[in-house]
Amino acid sequence: MIKFKNITKHFADGTKAVHEFNLKINQGELFVLIGPSGCGKTTTLKMINRLIEPTNGQIFIEGKDIRDWNTQALRWNTGYVLQQIALFPTMTIEENVSVVPDMKKWGKQKTKKRVDELLDMVSLDPSLYKNRKPTELSGGQQQRVGVVRALAADPDILLMDEPFSALDPLTREQLQKDIRKLQTDIQKTIVFVTHDIDEAFALGDRICLMNEGKIVQAGTPRELTRQPANTFVKEFIGDKKNEWETPVSEIMDPHSEFIASLDSLNELPLYTAPLYIFGANHQFLGRRQGKEIVDHDISISPETMLQEAVYDFEKTDADALPVIKEGKLIGVLSYKDIVRYLKDVNGPLERESM
């Protein structure tokens, strides 16, 4: 855990970069710092690994004041990735990734093994890439190497300062996916700085919005969209809404072809599947199977968020699930509904011209 206690940073020229900053970042969390240019994000990040010393206050890592850490141990424990691809140009990819393991005197075998493992992790075939020089890689590939270099010595914390902002949108999206996956796999605490709200929402377990050196609001993407602290938050987020955080009631089809009343059952073709049946008062009765109605125990409640609902689909073969409220069948959620909804909220897909 990283804890900021009353952290203030005033630079020598009088600039108040960070003011009375109080924050806890949990173990294994992907925490995003966001805010307009100059709001103090980089300064905040650099205070974590002591590239900048605060004017006032304390920072704790794993409960210990960072001033009580050995500086070198602290730096090794906090991998740092910058926006500018900062690979050493004359070294090979393997040598670049090996820098910190070499300093830590890991030995040739262990380091080699680690380099291969890391390059594999970000989909760079070691046999193909490790002997190349940085200029023989694309921008996105170089940035991937930058990320794994920061991970090489297995730090607990990864600090990333706008690491993808110099990349084209497609590469950037791919790297965002990589970093999410990486974090799920390796459970590092990641502090990720960006000024891009879409990136923040795509990545953050929690997001901290800063302005003029202060925290305006810190919370989950859902908290920020649902309960913005003030108009600054609202305006910064814009009408950005995380589509996965939409309740099923807004996506389901109340008049779905997969719904039928008990009365109408005989008139319906047998091939409609699944078919969910309701009786008097829309009471849910079950699912038609052959000529029978059988119990159906996987249902969704209308308040369920889309992101949770999709897991219910994994438990079943059905392409559509009944939405039940107080025992009543109020609609059906199908894959088709989900795709249509996502398409509507995201607008038409941009196609690349040939």
Binding-site size, ligand ADP (CB under 6 A)? 12
In the complex, the smallest distance separating the C-beta of residue 191 from ligand ADP, rounded to whole angstroms, is 13
In the complex, the smallest distance separating the C-beta of residue 216 from ligand ADP, rounded to whole angstroms, is 13
In the complex, the smallest distance separating the C-beta of residue 86 from Mg ion, rounded to whole angstroms, is 15
In this structure, which long-range contacts are made by residues 169-177, counting pairs with CB atoms below 8 Å and at least 24 apart in sequence? 171/138, 171/139, 171/140, 171/143, 172/140, 172/199, 173/202, 174/140, 175/140, 175/143, 175/144, 175/147, 176/202, 176/203
* Residue 140 burial class via C-beta count within 10 angstroms: exposed 0-12, middle 13-18, buried 19 and up: buried
In the complex, the smallest distance separating the C-beta of residue 235 from ligand ADP, rounded to whole angstroms, is 17
Judged by beta carbon, residue 118 or residue 159, the one nearer ligand ADP is 159
The reply to whether 165 sits near ligand ADP by the rule CB under 6 A is no
In the complex, the smallest distance separating the C-beta of residue 164 from ligand ADP, rounded to whole angstroms, is 15
Encode 22-52: b = buried (16+ Cβ within 10 Å), e = exposed.
Answer: ebebeeebbbbbbbeeebbbbbbbbbbbbeb
Please choose which of ligand ADP, Mg ion, none residue 40 contacts, taking the beta carbon within 5 to 8 angstroms, the exact cut-off set by kind: ligand ADP
In the complex, the smallest distance separating the C-beta of residue 286 from ligand ADP, rounded to whole angstroms, is 57
Gap between the Cα atoms of 315 and 298, Å rounded: 8
**Which range of residues in 36-44, 89-97, 179-187, 282-290 is near ligand ADP by CB under 6 A?**
36-44
**Which range of residues in 40-48, 120-128, 183-191, 247-255 is near ligand ADP by CB under 6 A?**
40-48
Candidate residues 6, 15, 72, 264; the one interacting with ligand ADP per rule CB under 6 A: 15
The reply to whether 41 sits near ligand ADP by the rule CB under 6 A is yes
Please choose which of ligand ADP, Mg ion, none residue 17 contacts, taking the beta carbon within 5 to 8 angstroms, the exact cut-off set by kind: ligand ADP
Candidate residues 37, 127, 266, 346; the one interacting with ligand ADP per rule CB under 6 A: 37
CB of 17 closer than 8 Å to CB of 47: no
Contact residues for ligand ADP, defined by CB under 6 A? 11, 13, 15, 17, 35, 37-43
